[in-house]
Amino acid sequence: MSTVSTNSATVAHAVEQDHHEPQSFWRTYIFSEDHKTIAKQYLISGIFWSIIGISMSVIFRLQLGFPGMKMEFLRPILGSWINETGKLDPDFYLALVTMHGTIMVFFVLTAGLSGTFSNFLIPLQVGARDMASGFLNMLSYWFFFVASVIMFSSLLIETGPAAGGWVIYPPLSALPQAHKGSELGMTLWLISMALFIVSQLLGGINYITTVINLRTRGMSFSKLPLTIWAFLLTAILGLISFPVLLSAALLLIFDRSFGTSFYLSEIYIKGEALPNVGGSPILFQHLFWFLGHPEVYIVLLPALGMTSEIIATNSRKPIFGYRAMIASMIGIAFLAFIVWAHHMFVTGMNPFLGSIFMFLTLIIAVPSAVKAFNYITTLWRGNIRFTPAMLFSIGLVSFFISGGLTGIILGNSALDIQLHDTYFVVAHFHLVMGAASAFGLLAGVYHWFPKMFGKLMDEKLGYIHFWLTFIGIYLVFFPMHYIGIAGFPRRYYAFTSYDFTKNIFADMNSFISLAAIFTFTAQWVFIYNFVNSLIRGKKSPQNPWKSNTLEWTTPIKPGHGNWPGEIPAVYRWPYDYSKPGAKDDFIPQNVPYSQTPESNLPHENELISLEKEIEAQNLNDQFSQPH
Amino acid sequence: MAATVTHDTLTTEPDQVFDKKTWMGGVEPMKVSYGKLMMWFFLISDTFTFSALLVTYGLIRYSYPSWDPAIFGEVFKFSNLYWPTPEMVYASLPFLHGVNAPLIFVGIMTFILIFSSVTMVLAVEAGHRMDQADVEKYMLWTILGGFAFLGSQAWEWSHFIHGTETGTTITEIINGQNVQRTIFGANLVENQYGPPAFADLFFFITGFHGTHVLSGVILNILIFYRSATGLYQKRGHYEMVEKVGLYWHFVDLVWVFVFTFFYLV
């Protein structure tokens, strides 16, 4: 019986594709299947988590910059984590470092970045009504939400959250008696991450499928905006690497709770021998970094894709080396899977194996350099418009280069003996992946805010935010390299004072902490700007940045289904900016060559004959098919 | 809608081997529906889940020696000093107590699972023919195969957990004293057949695979129910049978690897 009703519903659906029945508040804003709403949910969650994650770093920076500082004023928030003497509890310091890493890497720069922009931009830029499966997309967000709730609740329990570092190496993380943070906090961490991985897989499968199957007429892969290429490759990376972390986490759960010994062998703890034999903690490191290294690119690639788009738009120039950009992203994505052991040079692995991983690691410099040069050559003699989004994108290029250079040093297995687990590493990855991706995220918010909310963000506040953040981040991480070279290890609560460290490096640590507080404070300018523009922002025109991609052909506030009528067809690549002869300095992707005879190149005139074929392609309209 | 009409006239042209329109947008490349594509990508990711577990198996397995008559004695016996020989561990059959039948039972299990994959292919093929009765028949066989496999696995686990009649005597150091104790069967902490890691991996990996089979059986039942009520017949295609079929074949393929790792090498 149910089938009869489904069939009649589909027919009705196909006829009235443009005006869906209004849905209840819950289905429109909370359990929504619309990709734009889900993107906003991810964005808000990401902002929430970034406030928590960055605040944590400020608290532990206080301890590092001013060792033994009295933090009574934090007692209302941290309670007994401020001990009787008024200092930060050392156990909680470790928890703070761990949770800062976990939150920033997974909850902000993975879920907050690609969750927001993959969801928002993929259907809009490839020309689809929605994701391939709206339901799975909704499920993906709510799995993430439950993971978030569990991770957040671990902050509130008595023994505190996980404290073994965001890499949660066993045996520390496998034995509850090893440390306070390895008790309930670690269990909650593992449960939360398992749910997070499910959410990532649901999202990633959807992204890939949408890009492959739901491109509009004429949108071949060689006409896809670089953002979409980046999101596609990010999703593929996640699809292949996250399941390995899932396996690693499940095995760790068994070691912790059911007495197995996958990662444990011959251990004494508190003078007592444990019965575990046969496992290997190094095995965990291999499994973890098989995710962990691609994760770096899962975080970075979407930011690179979005900034390619923003830099081309605001330089009013075609992106330099469109195909080279795609090829280097594919190259980076491929290499991401075969370099993981460079995180493990000092685990006692065979030095010959180390040299192979070193070789593969250093090859990444080639596609990365191609990308960096392509950014610069796109900017070169461009008609640059310094919008806040553009400034943040240029900032990303700067961080990508200065952080990438130290990567060449760290990728060297001999130099790594000195630098492993020092602040040099911390400075390196915060610049190249942390700050760069965060700048990509911010650039994306400034650039696509008008599309998301139909309003413009305040430019002046955007400039202030950019300069304070850009300068602040360099002030934090540049001196940190020197602290690392001097041999200060990461994750330590306090350092032994030697003669050579007393003046220079202690002062440098205080300076870094002050810079960190400065940078943190500057972020409130953004929060204020975001909220204020949401409420009082100026109404945005339909195409505020005069951009070529399809999302700007939708109404200012696109409804369910994105385009009120037919989905536009696509005839050209997305980078026709400042084309000689054209009357405007941009030609959107949906303008056929037959309408622009004045600017067509000879080979483009030949493409005019292809237009009929493009228009003859199927409409590929999800809403006109049963779904 | 005019565009669709011209499209129809265009497709009457003879099919090219490679149609450049495949990737031109507006169509599902190779006419693969989004659901089938999603299933394929899920299977790719699941491949990596199992690969990680099998890599774990390999690494721990080769940190132990195999039984070598020259070192450990001419007669094989269970010991936690070396990895057990699979023929010695899995050598029983239900209802045939005392019969030595190395790897016979697991061979039967494997045959059942592979046979259920064959019936799944037949169900998919019947779906292409829109033959509801045949789809129902072959789905039922597939479900039966799945249950038979799960039942066999339950027996295998229970036999593995109970252990042999004589058990194995192990020596432990408790408070500095050597203490001898006889253990029967295996659990996640101790194992009469060999090192505890052997049982840990056995339970975890076959258990993880069994969970996949169980979810496959549940999906199969759902598909069977929906074809039996005529849902797919009314919908006009049996693609759901195909999608679940993909999953079922995958679970089968994974078993071939698990079988190879645990029972053959």
* Tens of pLDDT, residues A384-409: 999 999 999 999 999 999 999 999 99
pLDDT of res. A112: 95
Give the least confident one: A359-363, A444-448, B2-6, B173-177: B2-6
Interface size between A and B, measured as CB pairs under 8 A? 167
Residue A16, pLDDT score: 41
Q: Name which of A342, A351, A516, A512 is nearest A412 in CA terms.
A: A342
Q: Are A557 and A506 in contact (CB under 8 A)?
A: no
* Cβ contact, residue pair A241, B48, below 8 Å: yes
Residue A426 to residue A434: CA distance in whole angstroms: 10
Cα–Cα distance measured from residue A222 to residue B64, given in angstroms and rounded to the nearest whole number: 52
3-state secondary structure of A192: helix
pLDDT digits (tens, 9 = 90+) for A507-517: 999 999 999 99
- The chain A residue lying nearest B61, using CA atoms, is A278
3-state secondary structure string, chain B?
CHHHHHHHHHHCCCCCCCCHHHHCCCCCHHHCCHHHHHHHHHHHHHHHHHHHHHHHHHHHHCCCCECCHHHHCCCCCCCCCCECCHHHHCCCECCECCCCCCCHHHHHHHHHHHHHHHHHHHHHHHHHCCCHHHHHHHHHHHHHHHHHHHHHHHHHHHHHHHCCCCCEEEEEEECCEEEEEEECCECCCCECCCCHHHHHHHHHHHHHHHHHHHHHHHHHHHHHHHHHCCHHHHHCCCHHHHHHHHHHHHHHHHHHHHHHHHHHC
- Cβ atoms of A473 and A399 within 8 Å: the answer is yes
Which residue is closest to A213 within chain B, CA to CA? B28
Contacts for B2 with CB less than 8 Å, ≥ 6 apart: none
Which residues lie below 8 Å from residue B94, measured CB to CB, with a gap of 6+?
Answer: B105, B155
With CA atoms as reference, the chain B residue closest to A258 would be: B188
| C-alpha to C-alpha distance for A90 and B215, rounded to whole angstroms | 46
Confirm or reject contact between A149 and chain B (CB < 8 A): no
Give the model confidence (pLDDT) of A235-288 as tens digits. Answer: 999 999 999 999 999 999 999 999 999 999 989 988 888 888 889 999 999 999
**Domain of residue A97, residue span:** 27-536
Residue of A nearest to B37 (CA): A209
- % of chain A at pLDDT higher than 90: 85
Q: Which of B41, B48, B56 sits opposite A262 (nearest CB)?
A: B56
The C-alpha angle with vertex A315 and arms to A538 and A119, in degrees rounded to 5, equals 60
Q: Which residue ranges in chain B fall short of pLDDT 50?
A: 1-14, 16
Instruction: Please tell me the predicted confidence (pLDDT) of residue A6.
Output: 37
User: Can you give the pLDDT at residue B17?
Assistant: 53
Q: What is the CATH number of the domain that holds B53?
A: 1.20.120.80
Determine the Cα–Cα distance for residues A203 and A600; give it in Å rounded to an integer.
39
Which residue in the set A132, A277, A620 is minimally distant from B38, CB to CB? A132
CATH number of the domain that A408 lies in? 1.20.210.10
Q: Is residue A183 part of a domain?
A: yes
The tens digit of pLDDT for each residue in A17-73 reads 445 567 788 888 888 999 999 999 999 999 999 999 999 999 999 999 999 999 999
- How far is Cα A510 from Cα A461, in angstroms, rounded to an integer? 28
> Over the stretch A58-88, which tens digit does the pLDDT of each residue have?
999 999 999 999 999 999 999 889 999 999 9
**Cβ(A366)–Cβ(A388) below 8 Å:** no
Interface of A with B in 529-588 (CB under 8 A): 569-570
- Report how far residue A92's alpha carbon sits from residue A155's, in angstroms, rounded to the nearest whole number: 10
Determine the residue of chain A that is closest to B21 in CA distance. Answer: A617
Question: Which residues in chain B are contacts of A273 at CB distance < 8 A?
Answer: 173
A residues 41..80 contacting B (CB < 8 A): none
Q: With respect to residue B235, please indicate whether it lies within any of the assigned structural domains.
A: yes
Rounded to a whole number of angstroms, the distance between the first and last alpha carbons of chain B is: 61
CB proximity list for A184: less than 8 A, separation 6 or greater: A154, A157, A159
pLDDT tens digits, A280-336: 999 999 999 999 999 999 999 999 999 999 999 999 999 999 999 999 999 999 999
Mean pLDDT of A587-609: 92
Alpha helices by DSSP H, A66-110: 75-78, 90-102
pLDDT value at position B58? 94
Closest partner residue to A617 among B25, B64, B200, by Cβ?
Answer: B25
Distance CA A70, CA A79 (A): 14
pLDDT value of residue B4? 39
Report yes or no on A333 lying in a domain: yes
Q: Domain count of chain A?
A: 1
Could you give the number of structural domains in chain B?
Answer: 1
- Which of B23, B38, B195 faces A133 most closely, judged by CB atoms? B38
Q: Is A613 on the interface with B (CB under 8 A)?
A: yes
Q: Which residue has the tokens 């065979």?
A: A350
Contact A304/A329 with Cβ under 8 angstroms? yes
Alpha-carbon gap, residue B197 to B186, rounded angstroms: 10
Q: In this predicted structure, what is the pLDDT of residue B130?
A: 95
Which of A236, A13, A232, A237 has its CA nearest to residue A126?
A232
pLDDT tens, A189-237? 999 999 999 999 999 999 999 999 999 999 999 999 999 999 999 999 9
In a domain, A457, yes or no: yes
Confidence (pLDDT) at A21: 63
Q: How far is B95 from chain A (nearest CA, A)?
A: 31
User: Over chain A, what is the mean pLDDT?
Assistant: 92
Q: Tens of pLDDT along A535-582?
A: 999 999 999 999 999 999 999 999 888 999 889 999 999 999 999 999
Q: Which two tokens stand for residue A296?
A: 């770096």
More confident residue, B15 or A461: A461
The predicted pLDDT at position A24 comes to: 82
Q: What's the pLDDT at A69?
A: 92
Q: Residue A477: inside a domain, yes or no?
A: yes
pLDDT at A20: 58
Residue B166, pLDDT score: 83
Instruction: Please answer yes or no on whether A243 and B32 come within 8 Å at the CB atom.
Output: no
User: How many Å apart are CA A475 and CA A477, to the nearest integer?
Assistant: 6
Residue A614: pLDDT band with limits 50, 70, 90: confident
The parent domain of residue B148 ranges over 33-61+84-264
Distance (Å, whole) CA B140 – CA B241: 12
Quick one: pLDDT at residue B1?
Answer: 34
In sequence order, which residues have a C-beta less than 8 Å from that of residue B219 and are 6 or more positions away?
A: B244, B247, B248
Tell whether omega for the bond before A479 is within 30 degrees of 0, i.e. cis: no
Does residue A369 lie within any of the structural domains? yes
ipTM over 0.95: no
